[in-house]
Chain A
């Protein structure tokens, strides 16, 4: 067992990886949420911005579900093709839940959603080594009203593109 480490006040002292991805959520800063900017120009089809805005970086889920709708499968097929064409990128798939649930259950539910996306991408040929998953449960909604219009957008899995070919 390692001894207690001294409490670190400097957020980035743990290393560069922890400071970047998926740091925009994990660090909990004001930029957190779905509308954090992906790198590059959306006109460049090889950019993360293109992936986010043109391919579509997210799929939505029904209440308490992690199965993929036909629409979600269409989006994920395009994501898989893009990832196959752009092997210099890897991705973190973030699973989220709406606020209608207990905290820990929603963490597990978000993990199921992220895993559904990961399994689909792998089934379409993306190397598992390029894909990591994380769940935020209900901790990071993108819409903050307490109504189904917002909940529907919060029940999501977002594929966040990062530079590097993965492990």
Chain B
């Protein structure tokens, strides 16, 4: 099992010494063939309900955990029809032979108890082939209404223990929900769990809204709205849906707002007299500082995770390209040099990569490059892909994909930074401009 789990780590692209030898000596192999991983098979029997009220939750929680893991493309759930043993008690010894026989390499067991509106979930993860638990048993509590979050937290633990990386399941996505035809599209700010569950609207359809972004703690959202008839940046409190305009200078437009990692500063684009530059705004004092000063378009800023630099797009060279400058402004260095146009750069939470939208020969791509512009990789291609956002662990990118033509509509997709596992996110209706939250506390 150790060998097999380590092989998965290798497939994830982590630098671990001495792995090739291990990967070759394992009795079962996860073959990395032309970039395709053999997903790790796991079993997730229904959690044990410790009371009658817990029955429904027990079943649903194990389903959400399995869906989270399988959705990564790194794991494959073994059908419960194949199970030889059943888990009827959380504390009974695991019959490893029964799970080995169906080739389950990992086994997730758990129990759920409910008391009033409180729910407690215990779980254990087993490495079947080495016949041992993988990490300690853990317990999470919450309200029954938050049962999906509890399930995501369990799945995050499983993912972390097997891959060695942080999870991303207990997270949310703020986005623009869309209805109606292209020439009269209605747009509302909405928020949902990362997997599309628990969607709620944050604004009504009265005004066009664009490109929301979470605060570093996930409790506030920056976005652009045409509420006054002109694009202006707003700050919205997620819990209360209360909001305020951050900029209201007549004769200007403001858009593309993003938080600094400290949560106190916002950078955004301000258009005056047809020219768009980047500014920063101190949310506490209201002090505004100009960051760029050029007759070209400067927009789509994104902070490095350490808060020291900003990546943005500019057409100062004649076409849209990506640049990095110090956080206070000053000399910018161009990092994109491939063919085509580059926009919407977003710094990864790990700090090592920048995701972007690329337009080339009439197609749109989501791609990633290193912060010096090297090792550019395109992950997708379509009529119109745009607006990447990073999962909290920097492993997955979500973006918008619009289909062509009069009946065209927009949907959210996710893809691994390896380019594998392209999936449509389950959202009812049209959706665009996703922004992924940090992992919830």
Could you list which residues of chain A lie within 8 angstroms of chain B, going by C-beta atoms?
A: 1-7, 9, 11, 14, 17-18, 21-23, 25-33, 64, 66, 99-105, 107-109, 111-112, 114-116, 118-119, 132-136, 139-146, 167
Q: CA separation between A115 and B276, bound complex, in Å? A: 11
Tell whether B333 is near chain A: CB-to-CB under 8 Å: no
Interfacial chain A residues near B241, Cβ < 8 Å = 7
- A108 contacts B359, CB within 8 Å? no
- B271 contacts A144, CB within 8 Å? no
- A139 contacts B208, CB within 8 Å? yes
Q: CA separation between A116 and B295, bound complex, in Å? A: 13
Partner of A7, one of B243, B359, B362, B405: B243
Q: Looking across the interface, which residue of chain A has its beta carbon closest to that of B220? A: A4
| Known interface pairs A23-B229, A28-B205, A134-B253; A103-B242 also in contact (CB < 8 Å) | no
Q: CA separation between A144 and B180, bound complex, in Å? A: 12
Partner of A105, one of B187, B343, B404: B343
State which residues 278-318 of B face A: CB under 8 Å: 283-284, 286, 297, 299-300, 313, 315
Partner of A28, one of B207, B283, B313: B207
Interfacial chain A residues near B359, Cβ < 8 Å = 100-102
Partner of A108, one of B229, B299, B344: B299
> What is the predominant secondary structure among interface residues of chain A facing chain B?
loop
Q: CA separation between A31 and B26, bound complex, in Å? A: 65
The 13 listed contacts between A and B (C-beta, < 8 Å) are A4-B242, A21-B229, A28-B205, A102-B313, A105-B299, A105-B315, A105-B343, A107-B231, A108-B271, A108-B276, A134-B231, A134-B253, A146-B404
Tell whether B383 is near chain A: CB-to-CB under 8 Å: yes
State which residues 162-185 of B face A: CB under 8 Å: 180-185
- A26 contacts B208, CB within 8 Å? yes
What's the A-B contact tally at a CB cutoff of 8 Å? 164
Interfacial chain B residues near A135, Cβ < 8 Å = 231, 253, 271
Tell whether B237 is near chain A: CB-to-CB under 8 Å: yes
Tell whether B155 is near chain A: CB-to-CB under 8 Å: no
Interfacial chain B residues near A136, Cβ < 8 Å = 208
Interfacial chain A residues near B231, Cβ < 8 Å = 107, 134-135
Interfacial chain B residues near A133, Cβ < 8 Å = 251, 274
Partner of B206, one of A11, A101, A108, A134: A11
- B181 contacts A144, CB within 8 Å? yes
- B320 contacts A105, CB within 8 Å? yes
Tell whether B384 is near chain A: CB-to-CB under 8 Å: yes
- B208 contacts A28, CB within 8 Å? yes
Tell whether B387 is near chain A: CB-to-CB under 8 Å: yes
Tell whether B53 is near chain A: CB-to-CB under 8 Å: no
- A27 contacts B206, CB within 8 Å? yes
Interfacial chain A residues near B283, Cβ < 8 Å = 1
Interfacial chain A residues near B227, Cβ < 8 Å = 14, 18, 26
The 6 nearest A-B residue pairs measured at CB? A115-B274, A4-B242, A11-B206, A146-B404, A26-B226, A108-B276
Interfacial chain A residues near B93, Cβ < 8 Å = none
Q: CA separation between A66 and B315, bound complex, in Å? A: 13
- A18 contacts B184, CB within 8 Å? no
- A7 contacts B203, CB within 8 Å? yes
Q: Looking across the interface, which residue of chain A has its beta carbon closest to that of B298? A: A108
Interfacial chain A residues near B405, Cβ < 8 Å = 144-146
